Chains A and B, each alone.
Chain A
Amino acid sequence: MSKDNSFSRKELNSADNELVQNPFAGVDFAELELSLYRPRTLFTIILSCLVTVMTFVALIPLFAVLWMLIWRGGQKLSLALFTELPPAPLEQGGGFGNAIIGTVIMVGLATLITVPLGVLTGVFLAQAQDSKLAGGVRFAAKVLTGFPSILAGVFAYGAVVLAMGGFSAIAGAIALSILMLPTIILTSESAIAMVPAKMKEAAIGIGATSAQTALMVLLPTAMPGILTGIMLAVARAAGETAPLLFTALFSNYWIATNGQVELMPGCPSPIRSNSPGQRRWCLFLSS
């Protein structure tokens, strides 16, 4: 094979026959070989390996954290964990039953507040897509998704605790609902927007009012997506600590035994008391 890639006219004429017989005459195949010594290939392979390694390194903490919980928490797993109160300082044993109930109550309250607010806002956003108000609301929801949880707690402190004169589950619930709201708004909007437009047209064509269309056609059809959004929001709220530190405070007693019904514990707070077994709850709540 000739290494010379340029063809002079003379060569073309005489090379005519050659080309017909061997069309690849004049092409340097060595150029096409895939070889590690070519800088471009090497570059590609190195970067690909780098990216792969980085991705799996990024996943290591997930497994490390899960392992730590299972290893250290699993040793202390027992039924007492869920039914008893936290031990006095420096004592062993006990449990965090009150913390679980506290979490359930606060997250439940927050859900009750947020779901109507968020879902109906989602209905509005899906119906009035282009209006200025809708654009503004959507932007506000996106900005709220990144709102720091501690500031939600600070706000609840100022708005509720100082106003009401004491800590309470309501304050904690309000802080949690600020954190849950944007998720529910954005997921319900996208769930409702996915209902086919022709279904909505059918409802209007049959003479349903806006409320009837939304309640009898749009919401039932979009329900799976909306429920997913609610679950995501609840999962996030259940794991939040910062907003609860100074809104709901934490008490070591059951709600009923303590005469003050408002003093309710926040679930993640007992974590800070450093009892190893109490970490077990995270596994359940974060999944």
Chain B
Amino acid sequence: MDTEVSRVDSKTNGTTSRPLPAENTDDVVIDCKINELYYGTFKAVRDTQIPIKKNSITAFIGPSGCGKSTVLRCLNRMNDLVRGFRFQGHVKYRGKDIYDRSIDPVAVRRYIGMVFQQPNPFATSIFNNVAFGLRINKFKGSKIEKVEQALKRAALWDEVKDKLNNSGLSLSGGQQQRLCIARAVATDPEVLLMDEPCSALDPIATRKIEELMLELKNRYTIAIVTHNLQQAQRVADKTGFLYVDTTAGGRTGYLVEYGDSKQMFEDPKEKHTQDYIRGEFS
């Protein structure tokens, strides 16, 4: 299998658009190709193509402001909420472009779930938080079973099983984030997007969630954004490194390198990646 990575010519600091070499595309769940992405007149991202593979964890790393969260939010159409958002390119989920006019963004968000940076449980009981997804999908079966299943998958069941009616906001930060993960996996989405899920948490909670991610990847496909290189190293199968291009005056992000995490961290091919990973800039 050809594991050559897509290259960006860092000397000219622009893309010489070489097509993605023949990787095994059977297991690509989401194929994201962004030519240009704008928020109003601000060009946020350019020339980024990342495949998200099934049952694996793909990490986006890069310095702050390089558009990692933007790219992630493109994958489930969360950027629609921002005024002035538009982009050229496509995001194909199982071969269908989710930005096609006939596709309902609400539907997209139902089969691509998201966990945010700050834990954000609803102001109801823990049970209702997890059952929220079940309710809006008109799930007819036994809610309590599914809630239990989801909480077990999020490794939270033991801690809350006797206080399911307590408010979701009464949990600690790490527990709240696990509650949000349970809420996201309750409906069994195919893909889970996680936007810096551990940045608001202490190291112990972080470790728990990382273990969780490694377990969850057997069942779901996960894409995470992280600014913690060690986390990406521990957790991710594939990593994409994005960097900021300031040549045109603004701050435009673009994909510098993408490949197997192991290889990228041990032997990065691009100079920017080398600098970043070896810590010469944040």
Contact = CB atoms under 8 A, between A and B. Distances in A.
A205 B114 contact: yes
B78 A202 contact: no
29 contacts: A198-B120, A199-B121, A199-B122, A201-B116, A201-B120, A202-B116, A202-B120, A202-B122, A202-B180, A204-B78, A204-B81, A204-B109, A205-B76, A205-B109, A205-B184, A206-B109, A206-B113, A206-B133, A206-B187, A207-B108, A207-B111, A207-B133, A207-B137, A208-B132, A208-B136, A216-B132, A216-B136, A217-B122, A221-B122
A165 interface: no
B33 interface: no
A204 B79 CA distance: 11
The prevalent SS among residues of A at the interface is: helix
B206 interface: no
A25 B202 CA distance: 59
Interface in A179-215: 196, 198-199, 201-209, 212
B132 A209 contact: no
Closest 9 pairs (CB-CB, A-B): A207-B110, A207-B109, A198-B120, A205-B114, A202-B120, A221-B123, A209-B106, A206-B133, A208-B136
Range of interface residues on chain B? 20 to 34
B106 A207 contact: yes
A220 interface: yes
A209 B120 CA distance: 18
Given A198-B120, A201-B120, A203-B132, 19 more contacts: A201-B78, A201-B81, A202-B122, A202-B180, A202-B183, A204-B78, A205-B116, A206-B109, A206-B114, A206-B183, A206-B187, A207-B107, A207-B108, A207-B136, A208-B136, A209-B136, A216-B132, A216-B135, A220-B124
Nearest to B180: A202
Nearest to B104: A209
Contacts of B111: 207
Range of interface residues on chain A? 10 to 19
Contacts of A208: 106, 132, 136
A273 to B, nearest CB: 50
A210 to B, nearest CB: 9
B118 interface: yes
Contacts of A199: 120-123
Contacts of A196: 120
Contacts of B76: 205
A171 to B, nearest CB: 40
A205 B76 CA distance: 8
Contacts of A206: 109-110, 113-114, 132-133, 136, 183-184, 187
Interface string A25-38: 00000000000000
A65 B114 CA distance: 59
Contacts of B121: 199, 202
Contacts of A212: 136
Contacts of A207: 106-111, 133, 136-137
A81 B251 CA distance: 76
Contacts of B110: 206-207
A197 B253 CA distance: 26
A135 to B, nearest CB: 16
Contacts of B137: 207
A212 B133 CA distance: 11
Contacts of A203: 122, 132
Q: Which of A206, A207, A217 has the most CB of B within 10 A?
A: A207
Contacts of B113: 205-206
Contacts of B109: 204-207
B160 to A, nearest CB: 18
Contacts of B124: 220
Q: Which of B110, B111, B120, B124 has the most CB of A within 10 A?
A: B120
A135 B111 CA distance: 36
B78 A205 contact: yes
